[in-house]
Structure 1
Amino acid sequence: MTARIERLVTSGQFTLDGGTWDVDNNVWIVGDDHEAVVIDPAHDAEAVLAAVGDRRVAAIVCTHAHNDHVNAAPALADLTGAPIWLHPDDLPLWQLTHPDREPDEHLVDGQVLEAAGADLTVLHTPGHAPGAVCLYDPGLGAVFSGDTLFQGGPGATGRSYSHFPTIIDSIRDRLLTLPPETKVLTGHGDPTTIGEESGHLQEWIERGH
């Protein structure tokens, strides 16, 4: 059965470097009628569980470990028994939110997570965070970009653990090489496409300096 994509928006706060901001997060649920993968369980494990319904949660995948993307992950794991996946380069960020709970599995660049009718290829895209990843499924024609690429530009790089030249390299080398019709399903805000964003790279570089 072909996987389908559902979006749940949850609201809460992002906290880093002593600051706190109100945010709305996209939680992406990829699956068929029987099981699902949850990408970036933000703020409200019960709301995520309600959106999943009676499907089995095969995996909880975090595109990076900023608190607003992982704060509901342990609770969702406890409710479902699903493993939490995170790139190991983001463990220092993870530990700021969850010092007493490690992720269950480490994401590796190039691996394919096969579950719930989806084939999610892990693309390590550091810059917004050291262990940031995007998840590309050519069959779905979509890449889940976390906070690496948004409609209108790269994710923020003005805080700890982030680096602007690195995120530009990640976007140019790992994302803009995808087919232009690929849907970019972002961590916040509205989706875009690779084609819509690919013409703006030089503009972003000039804006970032």
Structure 2
Amino acid sequence: MGPLPRTLELFYDVLSPYSWLGFEVLCRYQHVWNVDLQLRPTLIAGIMKDSGNKPPALLPRKAQYMTQDLRSLGQHFQVPIQFPKDFFSVILEKGSLSAMRFLTAVHLECPEMLEKVSRELWMRVWSRDEDISESQSILAAAEKAGMPAEQAQRFLEKISSPKVKNQLKETTETACKYGAFGLPVTVAHVDGQSHMLFGSDRMELLAHLLGEKWMGPVPPAPSARL
């Protein structure tokens, strides 16, 4: 019997492209590193409000850098990121409240589908420049992820329920208590201690904390590591 897996909590919002990068890396490494990866749908707007932070793209020079940065990181991480054409409308006007409530409903009742549905929502907004605020768009993402239409509709109907709304609020508050000021946030629980890491560029440090080997954003297949 091997060692028990360490727990990693990933707090993320599909409105955050850097969350997508961290999400894909941790999904790739969860079995390589023997960790229990727990996905935590979180509302980035709540994090920003609580911390007093502002979206980096509101500063023109940061926005210019971010466009170039994500293009390079997408290639490096092998994640098909493309900037939305109307970036400010997507980020500041439409937001992700409905999408994150939908993912919260999935998390509560069908957690085995959470990874795939989350990925499809990122694909819509950050790869194909499609809307994620409209109900039909959310349903389309869920169905593309392999969820039956009837089940997706049932989850959509629950996004205004107190249970779902409170769960998303509680998860966001938990991230804030860990010290989050943006997303993604990875919390590693190792040897009775919790370590909060911000961003998608702390994976080498995460490997160090876990006592594991970092093999780049796309680890080789098991046969190639022998």
TM norm structure 2: 0.23
Give the number of the structure whose residues are more often helix, by fraction. Answer: 2
Give the number of the structure whose residues are more often strand, by fraction. Answer: 1
Q: Greater relative contact order (Cα 8 A, min sep 6): structure 1 or 2?
A: 2
Max Rg structure: 2
TM norm structure 1: 0.24
